[in-house]
Structure 1
Amino acid sequence: MSLFASTLLFALQSTSSAAPATPPPSPCAAPEFSQFDFWVGEWDVYPNVAVDPKNASKVPLIANSRIEKLYAGCAIRENWMPLKGQGGGSLNGYNPATKRWHQAWIGAAPGHVDFDGGFTGGKMVLTGMWAGVNGPGQDALIRMSYTLQPDGSVRQHGEQSTDHGLTWSTNFDFMYRKRKEPIPAK
Structure 2
Amino acid sequence: MKLTLFSILLGLATITWSKPKPCSKPNHQAFNFWLGTWDVRTANGKEAGLNEITRVNECLILESWTGKKGLKGSSMNYYDPQLQQWVQHWVSADGTIIHLKGEAKEQGIAMEGTIYYAKTKKTFPFRGEWQQLKDKRVRQYFSQQDPKTMKWVTWFEGFYKKRAGKTP
Confirm or deny that 1:69 pairs with 2:55. Answer: yes
Do structure 1's residue 132 and structure 2's residue 117 form an aligned pair? yes
Structure 2 letter corresponding to 1:85: G
* Counterpart-to-counterpart distance in 1, 2:47 and 2:17: 47
TM-score normalised to the size of structure 2?
0.80
Which of 81, 91, 101 is equivalent to 1:116?
101
* Aligned pair partner of 2:32 in 31, 37, 43: 37
In structure 1, runs of 5+ residues without a counterpart are 1-17, 50-58
Question: Which SS does the other structure have where 1:62 is aligned?
Answer: strand
Question: Partner residue of 2:92?
Answer: 107
* Separation of aligned partners in 2, 1:68 and 1:164: 38
User: How far off its partner does 1:181 sit?
Assistant: 4.3
Q: 1: distance between equivalents of 2:47 and 2:60? A: 27
* CA distance in 1 between partners of 2:16 and 2:54 (Å): 29
Name the structure where strand makes up a greater proportion of residues: 2
Contact 2:37 2:51 in 1 (8 A): yes
2:144 aligned residue = 160
Aligned length: 155
- Helix, strand or coil for the counterpart of 1:152? coil
Instruction: Give me the TM-score of the superposition, normalised by structure 1.
Output: 0.73
Match in the other structure for 1:148 = 132
Cα deviation 1:114-147 (Å, max 9, x = unaligned): 21111124221121211228x6144321101100
Give the whole-Å Cα distance in 1 for the aligned partners of 2:101 and 2:148: 16
Q: 1:122 to 1:88 in 2, by over 3 A?
A: same
Quick one: distance in 1 between partners of 2:84 and 2:124?
Answer: 25
Report sequence identity in percent: 27
Structure 2 gap ranges (5+): 1-12
